Structure 1
Amino acid sequence: MLPSLDGLVFSPTGRAEHGEVDAATSFAYREQDGRVWASYQGGDIVHGHLVGTRAGDTLEFRYVQLNRAGETSSGHCVSTLSRLTDGRLRLDESWRWESRPGAGTSAVEEVLPPVG
């Protein structure tokens, strides 16, 4: 099993069709005893939160967010955690909106703190 997500920051690799997060969005993850949660913002997202569980290297969570247009949205996501060749962590996501039509796949990758 890969290490805990607690205290790690992730950023999307791009913007998925039907999605609202993009490379300007930052996810701050927390993890404890099989529970995961995160706050996220940036780009078109003013506030976002996710909460769920982790079993091995699979995360399952629900998310809710507020975009810059003042619209709220919510959905469900299942993600698989892996390690990139440079050592950073990656989450490959399969998600669907529950509050509106649309579904897709996307990925977020660990953002390393600046050196120095």
Structure 2
Amino acid sequence: MSAPSLNGRLFRSCADVDGGEIGIETTFEYGELNGEIWAGYQGGAIRRGQLVGTRDGDTLDFRYVQLNTEGRTSSGHCVSTISTLADGRLRLEETWEWESQPGSGTSACEEISRP
């Protein structure tokens, strides 16, 4: 059984990401419809970011592009696996790779409540 839709859900990075620009101050707002996913994100070192891709079951496959607070752009590819935490919130386990520069890594985001 697949995790519920990501549509309208907010996520926050679980930790500062080694080799990346995402950190604990970065929040993501997801949309989902008919196997397509997208999100806008910002916070911490990220002034503005967008991701777009697809969902197959509990796997997301997307490209991201972002503008950091120093005015530099960067882009990459990420594959994420959705899981459900004991309290019912969703968690994304991510494996990412820069396409605009060298580097790759793993990270995680967890669903948060709307402020």
Q: Which TM-score applies when normalising by structure 2?
A: 0.97
Question: Offset of 1:52 from its aligned partner?
Answer: 0.1
Q: Does 1:29 align with 2:62?
A: no
SS at match of 1:36: strand
Structure 1 stretches of at least 4 aligned residues deviating more than 6 Å after TM superposition: none
The aligned residue for residue 7 of structure 1 is 8
Distance in 1 between the 2:42 and 2:3 partners? 25
Amino acid at match of 1:92: E
User: Which amino acid in structure 1 is aligned with residue 57 of structure 2?
Assistant: G
Unmatched runs of 5 consecutive residues or more in structure 2: none
1:107 corresponds to: 108
Q: What percentage of aligned pairs have identical amino acids?
A: 60
Deviations 1:8-41 (A, max 9, x none): 0000000121110111111000000000000000
Partners of 2:53 and 2:10 lie apart in 1 by 17
Alignment: residue pair count: 114
Distance in 1, Cα, partners of 2:3 & 2:69:
35
TM-score, normalised via structure 1 length? 0.96
